[in-house]
Amino acid sequence: MKTAISLAILGLAASIVLSAGEPTPAGGKEATGQHRGYTNDRLFLRLDDGKEMTFLVKIPGDKDWKWHKDFETLSRITVTYHAESGQDLPVATAIRAAAAK
């Protein structure tokens, strides 16, 4: 059981930063736009249609909030997110650099 959990965590950690063109993790939705900033565990994104979204970021395996340093503010990113019960905000589970518009 412990080994299976460790392998699952390693597998999820590998999906923290997906390369452009990789498939979305199961059951997730994607949003692409401009990284508008962050505060602790929240990420602000301006979508391509001009709307704003805020995500609660819970990237598996990222205990040190490495995503803060991996993506520059105002850069173009794609966020994979899920709706979780009990959460007001969609939960971002992966972030990757997006292709230029």
pLDDT in tens, 5-32: 333 333 333 334 444 444 445 578 999 9
What distance in Å separates the CA atoms of residue 36 and residue 16, rounded to the nearest whole number?
Answer: 19
Domain boundaries, the chain: 2-97
pLDDT digits (tens, 9 = 90+) for 86-99: 889 999 999 999 98
pLDDT digits (tens, 9 = 90+) for 38-97: 999 999 999 999 999 999 999 999 988 899 999 999 999 999 999 988 889 999 999 999
36: confidence class by pLDDT, cuts 50, 70, 90: very high
- Which candidate, 95, 98, 27, 20, places its Cα nearest to that of 56? 95
- Which candidate, 31, 74, 35, 30, places its Cα nearest to that of 49? 31
pTM of the model: 0.72
Q: State which fold the 2-97 domain adopts.
A: OB fold (Dihydrolipoamide Acetyltransferase, E2P) (2.40.50)
What distance in Å separates the CA atoms of residue 47 and residue 8, rounded to the nearest whole number?
Answer: 31
